[in-house]
Structure 1
């Protein structure tokens, strides 16, 4: 008896997520997906509508996991500076078993300018994270941890841009000391 279809789908989505994360949408062939998932070409097309459907599911899985972790952190009781430090150090100390960079950032750069469906999905995710970060910074302003004259939305956009830039730099080969220096400098903005 074979494995349940949901197990096969979940395992394939996770494997595809890592393949797209490492190589991008265009850089990941159907053969790459077969090798990553352990599924044959026909199984991929029988389980998913094709490469695009598998990508959308993989991107959604990545967003769900990464955004859930960020939202949990930002809603917690820690001081905002510690929350932002944690977000920055997730890049500095990224799991060496993970592909370099960020599937969301990589996809924004690759697909955002010409793929309205992907761009919309990525924009919605960014807005959710931005709203949570603004709320955390506003809370820091109300406790005096962040100066009252600093605009929470501007600071949140700066942090998001810094994290995205760090992910791009990591993908481009930046080493840990360079990423740590950027993160440390970014913390001075709070």
Structure 2
């Protein structure tokens, strides 16, 4: 009798994240996960317990890696509005370059599971809170440097940026012409 196949749980979560991101939670089957992870169903359930538990790990991985990446981009030196423009346009470019048009896993999860899965909602809220907090911090910096009117409410503008980003990333999944979304980014930044 041979030894059971060994696998790297971190790599397995990364691969599962890619499958859930491409197909969505509901459309992803255990067989999809087995195929992507290169393990048997028994190993999948032994290691992760359930498809749902693996999804939670994958969503957490997405949240943590994307929040760190966004914060690093926003924390670079330079004028605040230029950094915001660069980040928003970079995310749109990535969305349009993705042949699967996956958009944002958190946004997709909110749309698919937001009304029926409190555990997923909590994770998505955490990601949205982190993103909004990063935007709010950047707005506060812009207020201190005089690039953004000091009378503007940083929390409200952080919320505006978050909801605009969610809308942009959702629209990018179906839009053929990125110019429409670039115009929206320009209009948003002009309003700051």
TM-score (structure 2 length as normaliser): 0.88
User: Which of 167, 170, 185 is residue 168 of structure 1 equivalent to?
Assistant: 170
Provide the rounded CA distance (Å) in 2 between the counterparts of 1:36 and 1:177.
35
Provide the rounded CA distance (Å) in 2 between the counterparts of 1:51 and 1:98.
25
Within-5 A mapping of 1:1-190: 5=7, 8-94=8-94, 96-97=97-98, 99=100, 100-190=102-192
Provide the rounded CA distance (Å) in 2 between the counterparts of 1:185 and 1:9.
44
Q: Shift of the alpha carbon at 1:68?
A: 0.2
Instruction: Please tell me the root mean square deviation across aligned C-alpha atoms, in Å.
Output: 2.0
TM-score (structure 1 length as normaliser): 0.89
How many residues are paired up?
A: 188
C-alpha distance after superposition, 1:40-95 (max 9, x if no partner): 21121122111011101111111111100112223333221122112211222106
Q: Is the 8 A contact 1:155 1:189 kept in 2?
A: no
Q: Which runs of 5+ in 2 are unaligned?
A: none
Q: Which moved more, 1:60-69 or 1:85-94?
A: 85-94
Provide the rounded CA distance (Å) in 1 between the counterparts of 2:82 and 2:15.
32
Q: Which runs of 5+ in 1 are unaligned?
A: none
Q: Which runs of 4+ in 1 moved over 4 A?
A: 1-5
Provide the rounded CA distance (Å) in 1 between the counterparts of 2:99 and 2:129.
25
Q: Is the 8 A contact 2:17 2:58 kept in 1?
A: yes
